[in-house]
Amino acid sequence: MEKLRRRLTLNERIVIEALLKENKTKSYIAKHLNRNRSTITREVNNWVRKPTDIYNAANAHFFTKQDYLKKRNKDKINTYKRLKLFVYKGLLSGFSPEQIGGRIKVLYPNDPVMSISYEAIYQPIYRHRQSYLGKKLIKLLPYHHHKRRENRKFGKNRVRIKDQVNISQRPQHVELCLEVGHWEGDLMIGLGQKSAIGTIVERKTRYTFIVKIQNRKSITVTQQFAQILNTLPKYIRKTMTYDNGLEMANHKWLTEITGMDIFFANPYLSWERGTNENTNGLIRRFFPKGTDFNNIVVNSLNMRKTA
């Protein structure tokens, strides 16, 4: 009979916890639960190793279940409905797995169930990429490739942009959005990566410039950014935070021309430029993925993001 009931249930663990508090022996507990004594001894010894340790049924059950799931390679998203709902809602709202992973850490800092890395979101999606649901989820990703690209080993640790200043060195008050003049920038790539528009968003007011880019060369992008930024008064040209795109390799020239300090977010941490990312999601409603920006007639692409 023991082989048919290998794993202890939560209710059985609760009984173990209660009887241990009553100083009952392991033999007594085993007889009470109709279990082998070795099963109870192994369970208790796993969690009570010092005289000061106290057996906790809920914790023991949770971590044992986690270990079991890892052995079976079952992904966490499909294990917990609450987590699955949060991730799927995020994808449907236009958030990337990187953003979802960052947001959940902030919203649920002490919840072991509501904790997931962006890689743990990507993996189950691409593991079932041939399924109907897998294909739908891949289309929600920022770059919906049919197959996941492998990490490139060559040049992985190479500095792509010289003399870049990390966002960690940006003044802390910028994060609080207490004053006007701090911007976030990015490029949105069009069909076949043959066209692009630039987006520059002010963090406090959400005022946004959309800039039609002639090409993605750094000198072109920074010149076109400088041209539109210099239409602003100096007192609202303070900083700009960008991702690690090579189009900003000419950032020192941009600082010299505009007077703005340029900071770079960490790779794969898109929520560090959350204002810009959210704005890009709104813009995608008008220019969905696959848009050829070369065919877009641009008069004045200044816009204000509504709350």
Angle (CA) 124 280 75, round 5°:
10
Q: Cα–Cα distance between 135 and 146 in angstroms, integer?
A: 8
Which pLDDT score is estimated for 35? 92
Q: Which of 88, 97, 148 is nearest to 119 (CA)?
A: 97
**Where do the structural domains in the chain lie, given as residue ranges?**
2-71, 81-140, 167-304
Which pLDDT score is estimated for 187? 92
Q: Cα–Cα distance between 153 and 71 in angstroms, integer?
A: 28
- Model confidence at 74, pLDDT cuts 50, 70, 90, reads low
The yes-or-no verdict on residue 304 having pLDDT over 50 is no
Q: Which of 7-11, 28-32, 127-131, 215-219 has the lowest mean pLDDT?
A: 127-131
Mean pLDDT of 80-85: 89
- Model confidence at 218, pLDDT cuts 50, 70, 90, reads very high
Tens of pLDDT, residues 257-275: 999 999 999 887 778 888 8
Mean pLDDT of 2-8: 61
DSSP string, 138-160: HHHSSS--SSPPPPP-TTTTS-S
Q: Cα–Cα distance between 280 and 94 in angstroms, integer?
A: 9
Tens of pLDDT, residues 117-148: 888 888 888 877 777 777 888 777 765 555 55
261-264, strands of its sheet edge to edge: 261-264, 239-242, 182-189, 196-202, 207-213, 302-304
50 exposed, middle or buried (CB, 10 Å; 0-12, 13-18, 19+)?
Answer: exposed
The mean pLDDT value of the chain amounts to: 83
Contacts of 136 (CB under 8 A, 6+ apart): none
Mean pLDDT of 173-199: 90
Beta bridge partners of 199: 186, 210
The yes-or-no verdict on residue 233 having pLDDT over 90 is yes
Q: Cα–Cα distance between 199 and 20 in angstroms, integer?
A: 62
**In angstroms, how far is the first alpha carbon of the chain from the final one?**
62
User: What is the fold of 167-304?
Assistant: Nucleotidyltransferase; domain 5 (3.30.420)
Would you mind telling me the total number of residues written for the chain in this entry? 307
Supply 284's token pair.
């995608």
CA distances 76 to 66, 86, 94, 117, 150, Å, are: 9, 12, 21, 10, 22
Segment of 74-83, 139-148, 195-204 carrying the highest mean pLDDT? 195-204
Mean pLDDT of 250-262: 95
